[in-house]
Structure 1
Amino acid sequence: MTIRTRNQKQQDNRHFVTATLHNWCSRFALTHLSLWEQVGDRKHCIWAFPQQDNIAALPKKADCVSVADHFLLVFDTEKTAVFRDYLQQCRTFLPVCFEAALALEKRSVEEKLWLGLSGEVLNDVDDSFYTKLLDTLITGLPGAEAGLLLLNNERTSKLVIESGSGFDHEYYQRIQLSSDESLAGTAFSKQELLVYNTKTALQQAMASLSPKNRDYLIQAAQWKRMPSTALAFPIINNQQSFGAVVLFGFSDGSCFSPEIVDTLQNVLNYISLLYGRYKNQREAKKTKRELDITYRALRTEHSQLRKTLDLYNILTALSRNNKGINEIMSAMYSTAHTPIVYYDELLFPIASCGTSAQHVLPDHFLKTREARYSVRVKKWQLLKLTEDELLLIIPVVGAERVIGFLCAWINKNTFNDSDRTLLEYSASFLGLESMKRQAVEQTKRQLFGDIFDQVLSNTFNENMLQQAKNLDLNEKDLYTVLICEYTQTATPGIQEQFASEACMKWLEQALKEVTIKGLVAHRRGAIVAFLSFPSDAEKRTIDSKLTRFSTRINQFPGAIKVGIGRLEEGFIRINQSYNDARQCIRLLKKKKSGKVYRFSSGGIDHLLMNHDPDELKLFVEDHLGLLLEYDARKHKELLKTLLVYLEHNRNLQETTEALTIHHNTLYYRINQIESILSVKLSHSEDWMNLAMACRIYQFLQG
């Protein structure tokens, strides 16, 4: 005898019910035949033939035959009486048919639900797991038309909706339930499956819903009304509630039959297992991701540590071998591979690597918020230059104050924090090296200042001469003295107390550019300097260098007056050169124009300064007195015309252009001048006397 398998029996049951209903429909000309189940005061269709989906309610025109607590519904047919008589004869068979239909429906629901829950769709560990789980339950359970999946937020201890079907996300995301509020809260707290198949029971269960959450739920529901039936169950893992699922039915004929509830009850543990697996896999995925991040961070940190250690060894070796700032900058550039410049606190560039003409500081750099903040807190800052380029500002600190800036031009898309850390770390070495350099420079300036004072006061001795040799001052070389007086801040943005330091550094830089040896210090209320030249240097070469140096001084951004005295052999004989430089300063102040004056190019001005002022005034009176008197009496401009005429060396066209007058007017004025002074400008002696008188007049007026 062949043993029939379980699947074969199920197939027989399905065939039995279908065949029976099909036979009845054909035999009695039934337009529609349905098996309905009474669930409380709700009726639930469990089987229909011919197949129709979503039978919402009992037909208004229907002939019913009751089977215990269930109904057999018959639609309009011509053989109603015959069919009813047949059913009376088969009333013992009806319960069998009905129970078979229930068993078949239950099995169908179970298969569909298990198939959905165990399918590949829910095996993916991604953010759509909750949505897929909810859709599987709504699809697999008759009567479920919409649903919400809520999870407990451990931080707020509220149930928040993680996924919703049949609801608008814009509204349901605002819902937050207490642990005992409404259907979800009750199922969550009691850890029970709850069913509400009547509106009265549902309204009582939802009575604890806050008014705000109720409004959000109604607005979120696509039906825009309260549901007619609902089912809620908790999500449990290790006997702890983590959330809840609520399924809703909005149609009038929807309900959750005991068979459907039993079926769902059987899979709740599996749903909890699915949730636990998803949570564990997600935690494992998160842990793996965090481990990957940690691993990459450790590798990056190890690489950074390696680079830092290598750079530390290099910088330590450079410092130990007294290699200086340029070598330190080269080591930094080889590590960071970005253009860098080291500026002192007055923004004079000390050293640079990898830069080009475009790598310059923005205007008013020290007034920018980033630079001021960097100085105040002694921390790095980023200054935006263009959309992609940034300026990294790292303050170089020494003796508890900012003594410079390490600036790097970086691309925000390629530069990383590890390189910034290396540059920031290296800035400390620049600070140490700069402090050493400043100490040497200050000592050197102090020593030079002392020597300068002793030379001017003729109190020098053998010890001073030895110190002069240490400063590379040779008694046989040629020397000239420079005096610089400043009247305002040298560079925009630099504080007033730094003006003198800025001016000295600027002069030192200018001397380097034209290859002149020089020592600079601050003495007697001004900046003084020795400019030295080899004893065998040609006068033409010295004059060329001083001319280029004077041109460079005229480019100084502040208001200064610089006087340069005559050349002397030996630094101990520079008193006269010092006095010459002071005279040059006085001449500059008289001229009220220009920034530099060299004694060697002074000409007649030096003779005038050393001449008796009264004799100079008498000479002007003798040669220009009548013209001055005439101009004062007649309000004329004849003296001005004469001065311009002399300035342009008697060139008529240049004079008329300078005075913006017609040449006939110039001829007339010249004739007037000759008539008033009784001279002829064409005579060399008259011309020489008038030229000298005009020059003295201008000198005295200055």
Structure 2
Amino acid sequence: MISRHERSAITTTLLPTEWPGMSAFLRALNEAENLEATQFTILRAALEVAPAAQAAILLADDSGMRLTPGLSIGFQPAIAGASDWRLEPSQTLNFTEGRHLVLRADTENWDGMPALVGFWLSRGRSVTVSPICHAGRLVALLVRTVENRVPSDPSKNPTLLSLLEHSAIAMEKALALENFRRRREELPAVLDVVDEQRLVLERTLSINDEFTRMVLDGQGIGAVVATLGRIVDNPVVIVDRFFNLLEHYSTEDRDGLDNGHRFIITNGSCPSAVRYDPEVQAVMASLAKKRRPSRLMPLPRHGFDKPRVVAPIVVDQEIIGLISVLEGNHPLDVLDLVAVERAATAIALRLMKEQAAVEAKYKLKGDLIEALLTGSYGSDEEIILKRAAYLGIDLHVPHAVLVVGVEGSALSTRKETSEHEPLSPHAKVLAVLERACRRKLPEAVVTAKDDEIIILASFRPAAGTDGLFETRKIADSLHVEVPQWLPGITISLGIGGPCNILADYLQSYEQARCALDVIKASRLRGRILAFDQLGINGLLFDLHNRDKALRFMEDTVGGLLAYDERHHTQLAESVHRYLLHDRNIERAAQVLFVHPNTLRYRLQRAATILKTDLESSEAICNLHWATKVLYGLHSD
């Protein structure tokens, strides 16, 4: 509403005498209660001062660049409501300088005109557009249509100009009052939002304090997961980087779980097909980048068919686990997501503490194994026995030393590390073997020495068995673990002799390394060889002769093995079976399941490749020794 001071200023202005209704117009402006009444007063006066068929007001925003429809007289509502005109800066400048726009019905350029202007121009009517400005700012535009093809210029109508000048003041005040009323109406909603945000903040602080207190009190992951499950009122499953179960929270009947998470809880892990599914790997990469809870799409083919929120557990920029919250009971809200994120931080801190303890113990065990395998423990055996007992290793029972070789196409096709796969293949194999030993051989010790992975496993031979049988069982149980969890990677294991006294460990370690070297020389993969399987040939593989023996094997049959590897043939094995059966073609062919003539051809081809005579006693002796050692690996 116009103030008393402004009203006085208006009434004392020298007004044109041509229009006697000016005083009534000013009173009507002063008495207008809202923006709509103000617009109606202006339009009615404008049509009286400058007669027109239709009239409308377009309201300008604070920038004066965008116009929206206001009140109109004579225009169809659909046409008036369609107006939405964005002015160019030059057009706004022209209007603020008081310039009027006169558009004749025969104009050919309507680009940039609001819808109602173009509508009436297309119907043979002329249009005038007059600015309503106040204090150098465009407040609105007055649009009028006339029947004349040559409309009169509004700038030459002093009464209309005076009306527009007073209208600008009234419009400015009406707009201010309208904004004030709207904001006053919005105030309760704003206060509600502020109050809601305050409650969220208070609850967020409470959640943060609760998880922080749990960490400071030394409570385990189980307590954190149970608290998170209670807060979000949904099932919670925690897995490590290999998707092995760490903890879970759900009802006794496991209501709200999907089949995928039920499998993890029941079996303690999920199939490796899930871990290496391209879609799952893409999710892991996204989580590694975002490092915050994310809502994931279902994976029905793996049984994860319910919506869920997954948060990464990050330690030292590395994802070491995942929190999966199924939205089985209800979708998670903002506070639930905050709780999930705080729980991930609490679990990360707890795992860091556990990891530090494990690494300290691992370092001590590594030092102990280093001393045992190198014989650097000195003359006081009692000290090394006490150190072992302190670490939970009973050296009074027999042990076996196993050395692991890591193989497979994945070693050359995968990068050593990446943002979401920070572990090298050797480190992954070490982690898998550590986990397998904890589950199958809790007394075993797994450690890394340079590029080797060494396992020290205790055994107690059953009645009627020897140490080789028991250690072979251990190797077999570990051998299947790696390809199951790491597709594309296999391992070979060399097994040393049994260790009954401290002096045996150095020898057993060297024997295990020797057995692994023989496997590598055979160019075979995924094999297990115990040094004792070499029999009397093992005498040639002592610490001083090993390199010479391996080089002799390579010189003797290396060319044949390379040919077999390139052409997928069995020439080396054919020579081995021929010599093993006292050079009897028929018996060897029967064992190889081939025709005797086929075996004769293979032997001729092998002799050609080796450039030797298979009738020579020296060649027969050398080949018999080399192939017997190598193909002793096939006995497994």
TM range (shorter): 0.5 to 0.7
Secondary structure of 1:414's match? coil
Q: What is the alpha-carbon distance in structure 1 between the residues aligned to residue 321 and residue 216 of structure 2?
A: 21
- Of 447, 451, 465 in structure 1, the residue corresponding to residue 368 of structure 2 is 451
Q: What is the alpha-carbon distance in structure 1 between the residues aligned to residue 335 and residue 81 of structure 2?
A: 43
Question: CA 1:315–1:149 in 2, change beyond 3 Å: closer, same or farther?
Answer: farther
Q: How does 1:233-252 map to 2 (within 5 A)?
A: 243-244=139-140, 246-252=142-148
Question: CA 1:696–1:222 in 2, change beyond 3 Å: closer, same or farther?
Answer: same
Query: Aligned letter for 1:282?
Result: R
Question: CA 1:331–1:565 in 2, change beyond 3 Å: closer, same or farther?
Answer: farther
1:301 matches 2:201: yes
Question: CA 1:542–1:248 in 2, change beyond 3 Å: closer, same or farther?
Answer: same
Secondary structure of 2:480's match? helix
1:606 matches 2:535: yes
Q: What is the alpha-carbon distance in structure 1 between the residues aligned to residue 325 and residue 415 of structure 2?
A: 21
Question: CA 1:435–1:206 in 2, change beyond 3 Å: closer, same or farther?
Answer: closer
- How far the C-alpha of 1:334 sits from its partner, in A, is 4.2
Aligned to 1:675: none
Q: What is the alpha-carbon distance in structure 1 between the residues aligned to residue 42 and residue 579 of structure 2?
A: 108
- How far the C-alpha of 1:508 sits from its partner, in A, is 0.9
- How far the C-alpha of 1:340 sits from its partner, in A, is 4.6
Query: Aligned letter for 1:151?
Result: L
Aligned to 1:699: 628
Aligned to 2:246: 351
For normalisation by structure 2, the TM-score amounts to 0.60
- How far the C-alpha of 1:592 sits from its partner, in A, is 2.6
Secondary structure of 2:86's match? coil
Q: What is the alpha-carbon distance in structure 2 between the residues aligned to residue 638 and residue 564 of structure 1?
A: 28
Aligned to 1:523: 449
Secondary structure of 1:522's match? strand
- How far the C-alpha of 1:484 sits from its partner, in A, is 1.8
Unaligned runs of 5+ in 2: 1-16, 250-260, 265-269, 300-305, 554-569, 605-619, 632-636
Aligned to 1:512: 438
Aligned to 2:480: 551
Aligned to 1:93: none
- How far the C-alpha of 1:157 sits from its partner, in A, is 4.8
Q: How does 1:162-561 map to 2 (within 5 A)?
A: 162-163=69-70, 166=75, 173-175=85-87, 186=98, 205-206=100-101, 216-217=112-113, 220-224=117-121, 243-244=139-140, 246-252=142-148, 278-317=178-217, 319=218, 323-336=219-232, 337=234, 339-343=236-240, 347=242, 349=244, 351-353=246-248, 355-357=261-263, 360-361=274-275, 363=277, 371=285, 374=288, 379-380=291-292, 382=294, 392=310, 394=312, 396-398=314-316, 401-402=317-318, 404-408=320-324, 414-456=331-373, 457=375, 459=378, 460-486=380-406, 492-495=414-417, 498-523=424-449, 525-533=451-459, 544-553=473-482, 555=484, 557-561=488-492
Q: Give the total of aligned pairs.
A: 514
Secondary structure of 2:435's match? helix
- How far the C-alpha of 1:435 sits from its partner, in A, is 3.0
Query: Aligned letter for 2:203?
Result: S
Q: What is the alpha-carbon distance in structure 1 between the residues aligned to residue 437 and residue 296 of structure 2?
A: 35
Q: What is the alpha-carbon distance in structure 1 between the residues aligned to residue 148 and residue 414 of structure 2?
A: 84
Q: What is the alpha-carbon distance in structure 2 between the residues aligned to residue 265 and residue 405 of structure 1?
A: 71
- Of 55, 58, 64 in structure 2, the residue corresponding to residue 147 of structure 1 is 55
Query: Aligned letter for 2:433?
Result: L
When structure 1 is superposed on structure 2, of 364-373 and 498-507 the one drifting more is: 364-373
Q: What is the alpha-carbon distance in structure 2 between the residues aligned to residue 397 and residue 641 of structure 1?
A: 54
Task: Give the fraction of aligned pairs with identical amino acids, expressed as a percent.
Answer: 15
Higher-RCO chain (CA-CA 8 Å, sequence separation at least 6): 2
Q: What is the alpha-carbon distance in structure 1 between the residues aligned to residue 90 and residue 169 of structure 2?
A: 24
Secondary structure of 1:562's match? strand
- How far the C-alpha of 1:325 sits from its partner, in A, is 3.9
When structure 1 is superposed on structure 2, of 417-426 and 164-173 the one drifting more is: 164-173
Q: What is the alpha-carbon distance in structure 2 between the residues aligned to residue 436 and residue 522 of structure 1?
A: 22
Question: CA 1:251–1:560 in 2, change beyond 3 Å: closer, same or farther?
Answer: same
Q: What is the alpha-carbon distance in structure 1 between the residues aligned to residue 245 and residue 127 of structure 2?
A: 82
What do the CA deviations read for 1:394-437 (whole angstroms, capped 9, x no partner)? 35234xx5363545467799344443433333333334333333
8 Å CA contact 1:482–1:562 kept in 2: the answer is yes
When structure 1 is superposed on structure 2, of 644-653 and 422-431 the one drifting more is: 644-653
- How far the C-alpha of 1:531 sits from its partner, in A, is 0.8
Aligned to 2:255: none
Query: Aligned letter for 1:698?
Result: T
- Of 558, 567, 574 in structure 1, the residue corresponding to residue 505 of structure 2 is 574
Q: What is the alpha-carbon distance in structure 2 between the residues aligned to residue 173 and residue 231 of structure 1?
A: 13
- How far the C-alpha of 1:471 sits from its partner, in A, is 0.9
For normalisation by structure 1, the TM-score amounts to 0.55
8 Å CA contact 2:238–2:322 kept in 1: the answer is yes
Question: CA 1:229–1:440 in 2, change beyond 3 Å: closer, same or farther?
Answer: closer
Question: CA 1:175–1:268 in 2, change beyond 3 Å: closer, same or farther?
Answer: closer
Secondary structure of 2:121's match? coil
Secondary structure of 1:574's match? helix
Question: CA 1:205–1:241 in 2, change beyond 3 Å: closer, same or farther?
Answer: closer
Aligned to 2:496: 565
- How far the C-alpha of 1:365 sits from its partner, in A, is 8.8
Unaligned runs of 5+ in 1: 1-38, 43-101, 123-128, 187-203, 621-636, 673-690
Query: Aligned letter for 1:547?
Result: D
- How far the C-alpha of 1:312 sits from its partner, in A, is 2.8
Query: Aligned letter for 2:183?
Result: E
- How far the C-alpha of 1:371 sits from its partner, in A, is 3.2
- How far the C-alpha of 1:655 sits from its partner, in A, is 5.7
Question: CA 1:578–1:268 in 2, change beyond 3 Å: closer, same or farther?
Answer: closer
Secondary structure of 1:246's match? strand
Question: CA 1:592–1:159 in 2, change beyond 3 Å: closer, same or farther?
Answer: closer
Q: What is the alpha-carbon distance in structure 1 between the residues aligned to residue 185 and residue 126 of structure 2?
A: 41
User: What is the CA RMSD across the aligned residues, in angstroms?
Assistant: 6.1
Q: What is the alpha-carbon distance in structure 1 between the residues aligned to residue 529 and residue 402 of structure 2?
A: 9
What do the CA deviations read for 1:453-501 (whole angstroms, capped 9, x no partner)? 3334162543332211111122432311111233687694543984443
- How far the C-alpha of 1:526 sits from its partner, in A, is 1.9
Query: Aligned letter for 2:402?
Result: L
What do the CA deviations read for 1:300-345 (whole angstroms, capped 9, x no partner)? 333333333333333333x2xxx4445444444444546554535x
Q: What is the alpha-carbon distance in structure 2 between the residues aligned to residue 454 and residue 233 of structure 1?
A: 95
Q: What is the alpha-carbon distance in structure 2 between the residues aligned to residue 385 and residue 218 of structure 1?
A: 45
Q: What is the alpha-carbon distance in structure 1 between the residues aligned to residue 528 and residue 621 of structure 2?
A: 21
Q: What is the alpha-carbon distance in structure 1 between the residues aligned to residue 286 and residue 174 of structure 2?
A: 59
